[in-house]
Structure formats: C-alpha cells, structure tokens
C-alpha cells in the first residue's frame, strides 16, 4: 500500500508538529507514508474565493504530485473535502483523476475506513473538547451532523474517545461553526472572532483543558483568540493527541 501524505500549506509552514504526529500514528499502525516533495496547496483558498481558473491550475498540479499513490492522506478535513468534492468540476473525462479524488482521505477517516481500525491503545488523562470542523463534518461525514436524523458513525471523535483517562466534555452546541471559514476570517474579521469567542466559551464552560479536532485551520483560529485573551485552554490536532497517547 503506497500512501502519500498531503501536508496542507499552513501545516507545512506553521504547524509542522501535526504532520510529524500523523506520521507517528500511521507508523504505529503499520503504514509507512511517503511525502511527495513538490506538493504545495490544493487550491481551497482560490476555490472558496470563486477563482475557478486558478483552482484548476492547482488541481492539475495536485494530480501530478499525487497520482501515483494508492492512498493520499491529509490531517485536514477541509483540504480533503476540496480534493474530493471541490475538484468535481474538473477533468471528468479522466478516470484516473476521479480515482485520485476518491483515494484522498482525511487522517481519521483513513484509519476508520481504510485501515479499519476502531481503537488505538494509549493513555491521555485530560478533559478534551472535540471541535467538529464543518467541512469534515458535513462535507466528509466524519461525524453525525446534528441537523440530520440518521444513524451515522463517528470516525474521528471515537478514535480519541476510547483512549484511557480521556474525558470528552459535553458542549452546549455540539457542532457549531467556529467562524474560521478561510478568507472569511480576513474579510469578516469581527464576526469571525465573535464566533470563535462563542465557541471557546462553550468549551470553557464544559470544563475542557484542550480543544481538539481534525482541522488545524479552525484550531489555529481558536488558538489565536484564546492566546490573545489569555484563556486557560490549548489546542491540539487529533493526531497530536494520539501520538502523545501512544508514546
């Protein structure tokens, strides 16, 4: 099984520890991932701005960088949502492009759906709030969404939930948006921060020490707010928790 890691731009530049933690966990599960050197960004910022031509250029590049892998795994729900669904308007005549899209998995989803692993042995004695980032939640269905009346599996929270000593706190709003929204966080700054503050308050009142999730971008936004306001909370990607729990 040839697994290529897709390291989103903000993880490459700002959160390298998330990528390294993901490798730790995958190796513990017997997967030896490869990191394609020429990879950059999937084009999500362009796509979400409406720049289709620019997105297409990066979709071609992404295909070139990853087409030779059986699976492509990324520690980000929104980037995977981009590749799997955002690219849908391009290259429908190329079956290999479609195969590549379908072979792209979010980290927890890969563990659940491909490796078929339901629990990882480890200890993490902390109170944790789980942030269900929207693109992973509703775009990839990593978790059951609160709007729907369906029995759906939890592919991400369940992975950390069964660690020894961990307590997942109960939030008042189980899957409300944190207000990051990519360029939204820049062009609707006040609202973006207001929404982030609301989310943090929910985690705080629930007694969380750590906020985790499968999308570092949302965590980065919430981390920025909690640091600026000196809140006694920290953020960790799911991969970081799992990596620490198994070490």
Partner 1 sequence: MSSHAKEAAAFLADEERAHWHDQALWFVRQKRDTASKNVPAWEELRETAHQIKMHTLSRLPEYLEAFETKASEKGVHVHYAKTAQDHNETILKILNSHNVKRVVKSKSMLTEECGLNHFIEKKGIEIIDTDLGERIVQLLEEPPSHIVLPAIHRKKEEVGELFHKHLHTEKGASDPTYLTQAARKHLRERFLAGEAGITGVNFAVAETGGITIVTNEGNADLGNSLPPLHIASMGFDKIIPRAKDLAVFISLLARSATGQPITTYTSHLAGPRPGQEMHIIIVDNGRSEILQKEKFRKTLCCIRCGACLNTCPVYRRTGGYSYKFVIPGPLGTVLAPHKDLKKHKSLPYACTLCESCSDVCPVKVDLHQQIIEWRAEIDKQGQLGLIKKAAMWGTTYLFKHPKLYRTLGKLGRIFLRAMPARLLNAIPIWGKNRDLPEMPAKSFSALHKKKLKQGGNYGK
Site for partner 1 in 216-235 (CB under 8 A): 220-221, 223-225, 227-229
Contacts of residue 18, defined as CB under 8 A and 6 or more positions apart, other chains included, come to 11, 75, 216, 237, 239, 240
Give the whole-angstrom CA distance, residue 54 versus residue 65.
17
Do the beta carbons of residue 238 and residue 108 sit within 8 Å?
A: yes
When the beta carbons of 39 and 104 are compared against partner 1, the nearer one is 39
| Minimum gap (Å) between residue 122 Cβ and partner 1 | 20
Q: What are phi and psi of 236, to 5 degrees?
A: -145, 140
When the beta carbons of 47 and 105 are compared against partner 1, the nearer one is 47
| Minimum gap (Å) between residue 195 Cβ and partner 1 | 6
When the beta carbons of 45 and 127 are compared against partner 1, the nearer one is 45
Query: Which of the residues 38 through 97 are near partner 1 (CB under 8 A)?
Result: 38-41, 43, 45-52, 54, 57-58, 61
Inter-axis angle of helices 189-205 and 216-228, to 10 degrees? 80
| Minimum gap (Å) between residue 151 Cβ and partner 1 | 10
| Minimum gap (Å) between residue 99 Cβ and partner 1 | 23
| CA–CA distances in Å: residue 212 to residues 83, 96, 194 | 23, 34, 20
Considering the rule CB under 8 A, would residue 146 count as an interface residue with partner 1? yes
| Minimum gap (Å) between residue 92 Cβ and partner 1 | 16
Segment interacting with partner 1 (CB under 8 A) among 66-74, 93-101, 155-163, 188-196:
188-196
When the beta carbons of 154 and 197 are compared against partner 1, the nearer one is 197
When the beta carbons of 29 and 193 are compared against partner 1, the nearer one is 193
Considering the rule CB under 8 A, would residue 184 count as an interface residue with partner 1? yes
Binding residue (CB under 8 A) for partner 1 from 30, 95, 186, 232: 186
Binding residue (CB under 8 A) for partner 1 from 166, 177, 210, 211: 177
| CA–CA distances in Å: residue 204 to residues 21, 171, 199, 226 | 26, 9, 9, 11
Do the beta carbons of residue 207 and residue 72 sit within 8 Å?
A: no
When the beta carbons of 167 and 193 are compared against partner 1, the nearer one is 193
| Minimum gap (Å) between residue 63 Cβ and partner 1 | 13
Residue 159 burial (C-beta neighbours within 10 Å; 0-12, 13-18, 19+): buried
Rg of the chain in Å (alpha carbons): 17
Neighbours of 220 (CB within 10 A): 16
């Amino acid at each position: 099984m040839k697994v290529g890691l897709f390291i989103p731009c903000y993880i490459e530049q700002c959160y390298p520890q998330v990528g390294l933690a993901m490798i730790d966990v995958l190796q513990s599960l017997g997967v030896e991932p490869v990191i394609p050197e020429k990879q950059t960004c999937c084009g999500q910022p362009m796509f979400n701005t409406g720049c289709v031509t620019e997105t297409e250029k990066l979709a071609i590049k992404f295909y070139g960088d990853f087409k030779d892998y059986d699976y492509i795994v990324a520690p980000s729900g929104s980037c995977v949502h981009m590749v799997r669904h955002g690219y849908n308007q391009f290259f429908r005549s190329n079956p290999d492009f479609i195969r590549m899209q379908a072979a792209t998995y979010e980290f927890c989803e890969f563990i659940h759906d491909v490796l078929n692993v339901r629990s990882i042995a480890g200890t993490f004695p902390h109170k944790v709030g789980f942030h269900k980032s929207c693109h992973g939640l509703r775009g990839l269905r990593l978790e059951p969404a609160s709007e729907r009346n369906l029995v759906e599996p939890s592919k991400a929270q369940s992975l950390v939930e069964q660690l020894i000593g961990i307590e997942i706190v109960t939030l008042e709003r189980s899957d409300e948006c944190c207000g990051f929204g990519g360029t939204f966080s820049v062009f609707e700054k006040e609202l973006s921060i207001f929404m982030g503050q609301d989310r943090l308050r929910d985690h705080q009142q629930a007694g969380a020490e750590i906020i985790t999730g499968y999308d570092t971008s949302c965590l980065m936004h919430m981390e920025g707010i909690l640091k600026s306001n000196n809140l006694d909370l920290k953020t960790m990607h799911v991969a970081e928790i799992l990596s620490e729990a198994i070490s």
